[in-house]
């Protein structure tokens, strides 16, 4: 139930399953305070993925650029506190993959509806690339694209399902990655959606 996708990238199949109900209940509290929204890229495109955040820093994008912000621009309040269930899961997954003291200060919550996708990109808005990134997949399955160090490198396709956790660190930290358009479907807990929790140390 564990596989390496390459140096620094480990999939923990079903790692979040025992905690899915607690995660989804905590997520409701987050989205009540800071609702999902479709943000705009610096180039003027509306992102197909709807997003929100919790923790001290939330990732945002608008016409002025990509950045981490301490205040959610939509309710103009700080982001919701990171729930203990989120923090504990991220820390135990990171430890399992060899990152003993991961202290995320940001959790980006991505919601994919039918057709939503994420083009190949690198995560480069964080200050310190020595910390790993932990991602938790919930709801409908998706095909994740794990590329190389250059945009043109042919990506590996990895199917991620409800409960899968991936830890990306060390030599994998700056690899290109993306998500194929979400296929229509129904998940018993999340309906027509896929949710991805992305834990990072932003600052
Ligand atoms: C591989 N989200 O929000 S998380 C993102 O499924 C993002 O919503 C995707 O990419 C999603 O930026 C994938 C998995 C992920 C995150 C960071 C990585 C994979 C990564 C950094 C390096 C390599
Ligand atoms: Fe990313």
> Over the chain (203 residues), what is each successive 10-residue block's mean pLDDT?
93 98 98 98 98 98 98 98 98 97 98 98 96 98 97 96 97 97 98 98 97
State pTM to two decimals.
Answer: 0.98
Task: Determine how many CB atoms are found less than 10 A away from the CB of residue 152.
Answer: 8
ipTM score = 0.96
pLDDT of residue 38: 98
- Domain 2-200 of CATH type 2.60.120.590: yes
Pairing of strands 156-160, 165-168: unpaired
Determine the distance separating the centroid of ligand 1 and the alpha carbon of 18, expressed in angstroms: 22
User: Is 130 exposed, middle or buried (CB count within 10 Å of its CB: 0-12, 13-18, 19+)?
Assistant: exposed
Query: 135, 148, 161, 169: which to mutate for ligand 1, most atoms within 8 A of CB?
Result: 135
Query: 68, 133, 170: which to mutate for ligand 1, most atoms within 8 A of CB?
Result: 133
158, containing H or E segment? strand 156-160
In angstroms, what is the C-alpha Rg of the chain? 16
Indicate if ligand 1 lies below 6 Å from the C-beta of 196.
yes
pLDDT of residue 2: 92
Indicate if ligand 1 lies below 6 Å from the C-beta of 175.
yes
pLDDT of residue 1: 82
């Amino acid at each position: 139930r564990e596989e390496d996708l390459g140096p620094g990238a480990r999939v923990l199949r079903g790692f979040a399953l025992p905690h899915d109900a607690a995660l989804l209940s905590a997520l409701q509290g987050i989205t009540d305070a800071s609702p999902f929204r479709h943000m705009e890229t610096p180039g003027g495109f509306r992102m197909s993925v709807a997003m929100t955040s919790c923790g001290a820093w939330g990732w945002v994008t608008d016409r002025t650029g990509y950045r981490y912000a301490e205040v959610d621009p939509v309710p103009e309040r700080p982001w919701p506190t990171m729930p203990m269930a989120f923090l504990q899961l991220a820390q135990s997954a990171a430890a399992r993959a060899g990152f003993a003291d991961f202290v995320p200060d940001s959790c980006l919550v991505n919601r994919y509806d039918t057709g939503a996708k994420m083009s190949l990109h690198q995560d480069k808005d964080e200050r310190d690339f020595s910390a790993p990134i932990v991602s938790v997949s919930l709801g409908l399955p998706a095909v994740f694209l794990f590329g190389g160090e250059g945009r043109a490198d042919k990506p590996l396709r990895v199917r991620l399902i409800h409960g899968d956790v991936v830890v990306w660190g060390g030599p994998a930290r700056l690899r290109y990655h993306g998500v194929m358009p979400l296929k229509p479907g129904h998940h018993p807990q999340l309906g027509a959606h896929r949710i991805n929790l992305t834990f990072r140390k932003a600052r």
